[in-house]
Structure 1
Amino acid sequence: MKLLLPILTIGILIAAPTVSAETPTVAGTDGSVVFQVRDIPEGVPKEGHGKSAKKYGYRIPSLLTTSKGTVITFTERRLGLHDHAQNDIVLKRSTDGGKTWGKEIVAFEDGMNSINDPLTVQLADGRIMMMFARFPYGRHARASGWIKMAEFGYDNLETNVLTYITTSDDDGKTWNKPRNITRSVKPTHWVNANTPGAMIQLTSGKHKGRIITPLWGTIPVDGKRTWEILVAYSDDNGKTWQRTNPLNDPEKGFPNECQIAEASNGDLIIISRNQSGEKLRKKSISKDGGITWSDIKTDPTLPSVACMGSIIKGPVKKDGSWDLYASFPSSAGRKNGQIAISTDHGKTFQIKKIITGPFAYSATQISPDGKSLLCIYEANGYKTERILSIPLSELK
């Protein structure tokens, strides 16, 4: 047994995160402000957690770069900052690569009900698709004061959390009537099925054109909660949806908010928040287009507190391959955002840039010119959402 100790120690050192004191940094305050708290106009109805709110708060970003060169930032607009505060999904558009932004556009709102977790993708035909969750007034995926835990089910607009998709045919300016897909994506033992960030559409292989996203769900157990994740997918451009079984997680802690990316070898990589476990992100890999998945495991190269983060594919290189890029806060708290790259199809990641200061939820995309990584992140105690453009040459 004594002989094993040096071997194990070496293994731990090899797997350790690559962040160091020499990792280049950029100040989070260098990012330009896209959304920030502002006064709520007179006449807006306010109840529940938003009843005494004086300011709109903005949380939970999603980011999209379209084929027309438009950058679109989506987020929840809240009465205050509570997760359940009559949230609307709003967006801003930029036609100059993220330097300036147009007016705030409401993509969807539903009165006193809470619209959460924008999840977006542009399809190969140019249509933009967004998935979101509708939480009924007074119900959420957790009990909080007067708010009760949502109930299992699919049909009760007053007690069930429902999952919808909506689309835009004009580059995000206007949005079509949402369609309820809850029965297709939510298991009977989950109260919700959603996640913020980005969906993907596969660009190669046997399942080219498949729309795919991971989702997380809450499982109430004896007054407490556990969580699972699964994958939902569509092979007919979003008309119908199917889902996998929940992914198996043999380790301590629970997967939660999660994102997915397509690697150039055909693998799909899910990176997940780690709730109640180690300060490392969780990861799972699929080799068959997202139908079956490896056991979820913590990744020692992705140190982070429990928080949402992103993973995306980079530009296609001359040899037809591409790298993967991820963003997530440090293991010391929701601060010092880490930008990491994987050059081995998601097996390991190397942290190449630190965005110093407050850094919570984030979303990333490649800039319209293909030369930079755009990262939008929550900052300043959730009072602002800022966006940074980082040259890809600095992430090698």
Structure 2
Amino acid sequence: MTAATVPFRAGHEGYAGFRIPAVVATREGTLLAFCEGRVDSARDHGNIDIVLKRSTDGGRTWGPLQAVATNGADLAGNPAPVVLDTGRILLVHVRSAATATEDAILRGKVEEADGRRVWVQHSDDDGVTWSGPREITEQVKRPGWRWYATTPGHALQLSTGRVVVPGNHTLPPIGTDTGTEAKYNGGHCLLSDDRGETWYLGYVDENTDGYINVNETTAAELPDGRVYFNTRNDHSDPRPPSLSPGNRADAHSHDGGRTLVKPFRPQAALTAPVCQASVLQLRDPDLLLYSGPADPAFRALMTLRTSTDGGTTWRPAYPVDGLPAAYSDLVRIDADTVGLLYETGDFGAYETITFRRVPVTDLT
């Protein structure tokens, strides 16, 4: 078992809790570990900052905590960082009022100005300092969408130069405006062809048949240029569990995220609870990686799985431990090592955000 470090621990450094990890490696080789620093509680709303720690030694040690995206006493969250070919680091994220709970947003009880809005910042000095935030909501959020989130986890720049940020949203409840009993999630992605200066929507997948309910999505560019999307499936299928489509779904795009070859379909090879996960394409060796809890019902048993056929089939490759675990993100550190940043703890999944170095040879 490889040694682990703990860049974020609940109840420390001025924050009641830390959630929603994302990690990238800069062009200089620095690791940037992002997450939400939740000031008053572990809840998904309230006073929340996006915080960052930097590591210049491959995740063995971490520098001081930086609050890189703040919104006063309100929320800045869902960090979606991506390192561009120029060396610039983009940080796409969402902002909302502290009082804007998910339930209130879904019920249409939150003014648009206080709801989930999309912003971007950047760093040109290896993540040491950051620009002010710039809003891009009107470019990437359709009227009528209520809840909205970027990723969670890292975004990506394709070999063509296009930036792809997976996202999700909700439609108004069907048949009622007073409850969330008929909540339908939708998947989409944000695209930029000018390194983050302007943005537009790529695919939009809105399936209301109860089989697939696209939620938090992660993406990777395959060696053949296709983009692979893997999503949390918050399905509402009322049929018996034996006929359930499962808690993961996936899709491919041949045109850089503009459209999907087919809508998201169940991915039964990935046993998982309803939870976020991460994917990462290695080029040498040619492996698509997946990280996420492997217990079918509970957020526990963080496991890395691998695919050699672009996500069609999967096999378990690296069980991390038997502890509670939830959200995660993957990063390539160097030719020999992959990094895993994930929520975990001895008795609950949200006690720490831990970083683990994993030898590539353990995955092959």
TM-score normalized by structure 2?
A: 0.89
The 5 Å alignment of 1:242-391 reads 242-249=200-207, 252-276=211-235, 278-293=245-260, 294-317=262-285, 322-330=286-294, 331-356=296-321, 357-367=323-333, 369-380=334-345, 381=348, 382-391=350-359
The whole-number CA distance in structure 2 between the counterparts of 1:88 and 1:239 is 24
Residue-by-residue CA offset, 1:260-305 (whole Å, 9 max, x unaligned): 1100111111100111354331101111221110111011111111
1:211 aligns with 2:167: no
The whole-number CA distance in structure 2 between the counterparts of 1:106 and 1:92 is 9
2:131 is aligned to 176
- Which of 7, 16, 23 does residue 63 from structure 1 map onto? 23
Q: 1:131, CA displacement in angstroms?
A: 0.7
Q: 1:111, CA displacement in angstroms?
A: 1.6
Contact 2:185 2:206 in 1 (8 A): no
Contact 2:274 2:297 in 1 (8 A): no
Q: 1:129, CA displacement in angstroms?
A: 0.3
**SS at the partner of 1:360?**
strand
- Which of 114, 117, 123 does residue 78 from structure 2 map onto? 117
Contact 1:263 1:346 in 2 (8 A): no
Contact 1:371 1:391 in 2 (8 A): yes
Q: Percent identity?
A: 31
Which ranges of structure 2 fall in alignment gaps of 5 or more residues? 237-244
Going from structure 1 to structure 2, the CA distance change for 1:31 and 1:279 (only over 3 Å counts) comes to farther
Q: Report which of the two structures shows the higher radius of gyration computed on alpha carbons.
A: 1
The whole-number CA distance in structure 2 between the counterparts of 1:88 and 1:148 is 25
Q: 1:389, CA displacement in angstroms?
A: 0.9
Q: 1:143, CA displacement in angstroms?
A: 3.2
1:31 is aligned to 4
The whole-number CA distance in structure 2 between the counterparts of 1:106 and 1:68 is 21
Amino acid at match of 1:122: V
Which ranges of structure 1 fall in alignment gaps of 5 or more residues? 1-25, 42-54
The whole-number CA distance in structure 1 between the counterparts of 2:4 and 2:109 is 37
2:185 is aligned to 227
The whole-number CA distance in structure 2 between the counterparts of 1:161 and 1:390 is 35
1:189 aligns with 2:153: no
**SS at the partner of 2:361?**
helix
The whole-number CA distance in structure 1 between the counterparts of 2:217 and 2:250 is 9
**SS at the partner of 2:82?**
strand
Runs of 4+ in 1 over 6 A off after TM superposition: none
The whole-number CA distance in structure 1 between the counterparts of 2:131 and 2:102 is 27
TM-score normalized by structure 1?
A: 0.82
Q: 1:83, CA displacement in angstroms?
A: 0.6
